[in-house]
Structure 1
Amino acid sequence: MCTEFNLKIDESTELLDTRIFDSYDTNELLLLSDTIKQSCFEFLFNSHIECCPYCGSVHIVKAGKNSKGTQRYKCNNCKRRFINSTNHLMHWSHLSKEQWEILFYSSLNNDYLSKTAKLVGISIVSAFYNRHKLMYVLNELINKKQLSKKIALDETYLTYQAKGFVNQNRRGISKDKIGIACAIDEDGNYVVHTADRGRPTSSTLIDIFKNTIRSGSIVISDSQRSYHQLMDALNIKWVKIPSGEKSKDGYTLEMVNHLHDRIKAFFRGKRNVMTHYLQGYLALFQYSELHTMMIGSKMFQDEFMKINNILSGIRNKDICPEVNLYKTLYEC
């Protein structure tokens, strides 16, 4: 039977004498390796501070510990005191780190809310609020890559949902739909963002893509009117596929159409998603696609620690139909 290792990592930890490993067999060394990794993760998770969560200053110093033994810090700029979790993902939560990891894993796996609640051991209402807190943070990480080379651009649509809104079931692309602007390059990098109700306007498309499409790229799209001003603003080569045609000079919209199919598949089974929350779900979709190989791997804890270090400050009262958590580009 393997030895059970108990390690305590703190600032006074000294270098280990590797000669002590000579008496361990392979299984014991593997267990020790996992224990060290977990202990290092715990130490970084509980002590990593980059800036003040109130003013963003990096001029911070240690300021003793609170009644629970958690390290406190003081900002020399705004003079406020805080702990490592202040205004971060877990700050306003009563869930443990282990419960958050399960919720993170389940959300990336696109589980139903009821399944996530059961796995975490919380109510469905609590799972709802905490998943939205997670998605809010994930939205800070997506759509950061710039697209280049050949880029296919088109939009897809979902049903508009808002408190008090009655769907008129109008035919075609109307105010009953919310547009999702999508662009994907030949390397598989893509940007997805909620746009306008009905067809996206030129100004909305410019807001979404002005900083994400590199100069010198080739953009392939249909002949929608709003694309004309977008292409003028981007000042790049535009391959415009005529209405009723599927291709032009060998260029097609196959890449972006496949992206549309994956988005629709992700939302299949999610009933009545409020449009105010749609950008959060798109962030979850994109993040889970980019980190598919991470699920169940040892990279998982590294990613969770990175997410927990992003400032959010979101509380349950901020997650409601009357409050839009994300930048609104569409007319309510």
Structure 2
Amino acid sequence: MEQNINKLIDCIKNLTSDAISRLLALALGMLVAETAAATECPYCGGTRIVRNGKKCRKQRYLCRDCGRTFVTTTHTVMSMSHYPASVWKEVAADTLGGCSIDHTAERMELSHQCVFNMRHKLLLAMQDMLASSPVVLGKVSELDETYVLESFKGKKLPEDTGRPARKHGAKAQKRGLSAEYICINTGIQRDGGALAEAVNRAKPDSAELLEVYRGHLEDGTLLLCDGLKSYGILRNLAECTIKDINTAAPAEMSFFHLNTVNNFHSFIKDRYDYYRGVATKYLNRYNALFSLTWRRNTVLVTDLCSKLFHSGTADYYHSIKDIKTLRLLAL
């Protein structure tokens, strides 16, 4: 054992910093136990739990409080899955690390469709997590938009689209900003969390900004933006100050800037380019992934596994039907 550990250390010394970060993320994920004894009922939260036989080779439990039976994967992303937690952890680590579906499928020797379904169950669960604990922007926060081309990746181009199909990496037909681009509205607290959501094409109007930021702004926040007049409507959501960075004096430019949110945009674009685009209908699922992983990708694996892979009162299970129909972006 000691000899193997020494060999592993020698191999790690030759890895790049990115590879070491990925290895660390996988190791942290593996620290989560493969199975865990149930301590509370996922239906009622009761603690009077007794063992009640087996189901599909999994320990089944009976809750003395509500009388319902469950297994350790009830209400988790692994519900109804034939794969063990070790496989799900690998898929989760690749998802958080920005790997493509084909890369994960080849590495894990699984089909593309299988990994696709597992990834989207994870993405839907991440949206559930953000819905239950929404990102709240406070203190000094930066607001801006970034744009990605509309994509029908994975299906034929609809006849009513009004443009010919384009290959991966191709440019828009029209110059500048047009309806071919999907707007991702982003908000960043400089020392806090990130928010990304797409609800429109081209520039957002006041109603769309209200939809994106409702419930995500804290009173007393200084909001920095690039001068888009629509942002003024956000004063209706919270008692905040909105500052156009273009009106700042030269001596103030070191503070009044959008460098943090632009960094987040670069992170999104890098992931988006590596995926060779994301189907527009799934874009907000990936926006949830981008919001959660920015700044904290390495430590997130353990946190994600502990919340999504063990039974609890929060229900993170989604079916194949949910993958096809739930929370699709329609513009």
What's the TM-score once normalised by structure 2's chain length? Answer: 0.73
CA distance in 2 between counterparts of 1:285 and 1:234 reads 25
Compared with structure 1, are the counterparts of its residues 42 and 257 closer, same or farther at alpha carbon in structure 2 (3 Å cutoff)? closer
Compared with structure 1, are the counterparts of its residues 318 and 203 closer, same or farther at alpha carbon in structure 2 (3 Å cutoff)? same
| Paired position in structure 2 for 1:284 | 289
Q: In the alignment, does 2:161 pair up with 1:166?
A: yes
Larger Rg: 1
CA distance in 2 between counterparts of 1:186 and 1:195 reads 24
| Paired position in structure 2 for 1:325 | 327
The answer to whether the 8 A contact 1:60-1:73 is kept is no
Q: In the alignment, does 2:201 pair up with 1:206?
A: no
- Show the 5 A alignment for 1:112-151: 112-142=100-130, 144-151=134-141
The answer to whether the 8 A contact 1:217-1:237 is kept is yes
The answer to whether the 8 A contact 2:40-2:46 is kept is no
CA distance in 2 between counterparts of 1:260 and 1:157 reads 9
CA distance in 2 between counterparts of 1:254 and 1:301 reads 29
Q: In the alignment, does 2:88 pair up with 1:96?
A: no
| Paired position in structure 1 for 2:223 | 219
- Residue aligned with 1:294, SS: helix
Q: In the alignment, does 2:112 pair up with 1:110?
A: no
CA distance in 2 between counterparts of 1:107 and 1:193 reads 19
Alignment length, in residue pairs? Answer: 281
Q: Counterpart of 1:58 in structure 2: which amino acid?
A: G
Compared with structure 1, are the counterparts of its residues 136 and 246 closer, same or farther at alpha carbon in structure 2 (3 Å cutoff)? farther
Offset of residue 180 of structure 1? 0.9
CA distance in 2 between counterparts of 1:288 and 1:205 reads 23
- Residue aligned with 1:91, SS: coil
* Structure with more contact order per residue of length (Cα contacts < 8 Å, sep ≥ 6): 2
Compared with structure 1, are the counterparts of its residues 223 and 87 closer, same or farther at alpha carbon in structure 2 (3 Å cutoff)? same
Aligned-pair identity in percent equals 23
Structure 1: state its 5+ residue gaps. 3-37
Identify the match of residue 197 of structure 2 among 159, 176, 193: 193
| Paired position in structure 2 for 1:71 | 60
- Residue aligned with 1:140, SS: helix
Q: Counterpart of 2:136 in structure 1: which amino acid?
A: Q
Identify the match of residue 47 of structure 1 among 38, 43, 53: 38
Identify the match of residue 252 of structure 1 among 252, 257, 265: 257
The answer to whether the 8 A contact 2:196-2:290 is kept is no
The answer to whether the 8 A contact 1:179-1:200 is kept is yes
Compared with structure 1, are the counterparts of its residues 43 and 241 closer, same or farther at alpha carbon in structure 2 (3 Å cutoff)? closer
| Paired position in structure 2 for 1:153 | 143
Offset of residue 120 of structure 1? 2.2
Structure 2: state its 5+ residue gaps. 3-29, 164-172
| Paired position in structure 1 for 2:272 | 267
Deviations 1:1-45 (A, max 9, x none): 78xxxxxxxxxxxxxxxxxxxxxxxxxxxxxxxxxxx8983453x
The answer to whether the 8 A contact 1:202-1:226 is kept is yes
Q: Counterpart of 1:257 in structure 2: which amino acid?
A: N
Offset of residue 117 of structure 1? 0.9
Q: CA RMSD in A?
A: 3.1
- Residue aligned with 1:141, SS: helix
| Paired position in structure 2 for 1:34 | none
- Residue aligned with 1:213, SS: coil
Compared with structure 1, are the counterparts of its residues 291 and 220 closer, same or farther at alpha carbon in structure 2 (3 Å cutoff)? closer
Compared with structure 1, are the counterparts of its residues 212 and 302 closer, same or farther at alpha carbon in structure 2 (3 Å cutoff)? closer
Moved more, 185-194 or 88-97: 185-194
Q: In the alignment, does 2:58 pair up with 1:58?
A: no
| Paired position in structure 2 for 1:11 | none
The answer to whether the 8 A contact 1:246-1:252 is kept is no
Between structures 1 and 2, the one with greater helix share? 2
- Residue aligned with 2:128, SS: coil
Offset of residue 212 of structure 1? 2.0
Offset of residue 87 of structure 1? 3.5
- Residue aligned with 1:212, SS: coil
| Paired position in structure 2 for 1:12 | none
- Residue aligned with 1:41, SS: coil
